[in-house]
Amino acid sequence: MESVNAALDRVWPAQLRTGRLLLRPVTREDGSLVRELLTDGRVRAYLGGPVTEERVAARQAAYPTTAGAFTVVRVTDQRPVGLVTIGADHRCEGRAEVSYQLLPAAWGEGLGREAVAAAVSWWTDAVPGGGPLVAVTQKANRASCRMLEAIGMTVVDELDEYGARHCLYTPAVDQEDSDLRWVRLLAARRDAVERRRGAKARATAAGQSLPDDLAALAPEELARLCPARHGAYGRICARMADHTPDLHLGRAQDGAWIAWLTTAESS
């Protein structure tokens, strides 16, 4: 299957038009829009808060050369009001992610829904067979959840990221064969990521000391393990906080034990 970046390079640049909006590639003239979106506390309320000046500058430089990065322009006054991007999902190889930010002055008009729906339709039409597309939003961000559900996306998973619970959405499909294809693609990519993460963690001192037969562990060693099945996909522990044990435990696809510490270096 073609990679997300290769697929985007093949169909980029692109322009999308809706009843009220133009979605066009981000240009250097959109620098002030990028700054406003990245530093506005309301826009960033569920995105980790306003970013540093260094990161603003980096994004201003990167967006104009990034395939899949659209500026959302309101047609009536030609004002840029937001950004919608489709790019490779860092959580799972071969999967695309749509993300979006809209200025507060444009909230409440359905413009975000219109823009994101156009981008999702474009990906589906322009890159047939391009692999799964997801959107991830904080579960507490009810407005974002409602918007994604309004354009026909459905929750397929929940995960913990950056200290908050998130919902993972994907476009709903009608045909059974399409549904099965999406499920298989998601499962295959998920398993690949879990295997890589487990292998990396097993290379740590804690991971190397974990025997294949857990029955061989002493009671005090067992007390350090976290056997809960609360990872993003139910097989591995992906939580980074609220744990007394410092060693997290799970099973790889082949049945071997995998483990890693809760520190950033081993996650």
CATH number, domain with residue 100: 3.40.630.30
This prediction's pTM? 0.67
Predicted confidence (pLDDT) at residue 234 exceeds the cutoff of 50: no
Q: Are residues 114 and 209 in the same domain?
A: no
Domain count, the chain: 2
Has residue 196 been placed in a domain? no
Name the E strands within the chain: 16-17, 21-25, 69-74, 79-88, 96-102, 133-138, 153-161, 164-171, 225-226, 247-251, 257-261
C-beta separation of 204 from 266 below 8 A? yes
Per mean pLDDT, which range of 97-106, 191-200, 242-251 is the poorest? 242-251
Pick 209 or 19 by higher pLDDT. 19
Q: Are residues 119 and 22 in the same domain?
A: yes
84/95 Cα distance (integer angstroms): 17
The SS3 call for residue 22 is strand
Has residue 199 been placed in a domain? no
Has residue 133 been placed in a domain? no
Angle between helices 31-39 and 53-62 (to 10 degrees): 140
pLDDT (average), residues 142-169:
88
Residue span of the structural domain in which 223 resides: 204-266
Per mean pLDDT, which range of 27-31, 145-149, 179-183, 220-224 is the poorest? 179-183
Q: Which residues contact 123 (CB under 8 A, 6 or more apart)?
A: 86, 96, 98, 130, 133
Domain end marker among 86, 108, 125: 125
Residues paired with residue 196 on neighbouring β-strands, in sequence order: none
Has residue 121 been placed in a domain? yes
Q: Are residues 217 and 120 in the same domain?
A: no
Q: Are residues 107 and 11 in the same domain?
A: yes
Q: Are residues 23 and 110 in the same domain?
A: yes
Pick 84 or 258 by higher pLDDT. 84
Percent of the chain with pLDDT over 90: 46
Pick 81 or 95 by higher pLDDT. 81
236: confidence class by pLDDT, cuts 50, 70, 90: very low
Per mean pLDDT, which range of 7-16, 88-97, 215-224 is the poorest? 215-224
Q: Are residues 105 and 11 in the same domain?
A: yes
Residues paired with residue 73 on neighbouring β-strands, in sequence order: 22, 80
Q: Are residues 214 and 118 in the same domain?
A: no
Has residue 185 been placed in a domain? no
Has residue 154 been placed in a domain? no
Domain end marker among 63, 96, 125: 125
Task: Look at residue 175 in the predicted model and tell me its pLDDT.
Answer: 43
110: confidence class by pLDDT, cuts 50, 70, 90: very high
Of 30, 29, 47, which Cα lies nearest the Cα of 38?
47
b/e map 241-255, b = 16+ CB within 10 Å:
eeeebebbbbebeee
Q: Hey, what amino acid is at 10?
A: R
Pick 185 or 87 by higher pLDDT. 87
Task: Look at residue 267 in the predicted model and tell me its pLDDT.
Answer: 34
Question: 24-47, pLDDT tens digit by residue?
Answer: 999 999 999 999 999 999 999 999
Has residue 228 been placed in a domain? yes
pLDDT (average), residues 247-261:
51
3: confidence class by pLDDT, cuts 50, 70, 90: confident
Has residue 178 been placed in a domain? no
Domain end marker among 85, 101, 125: 125
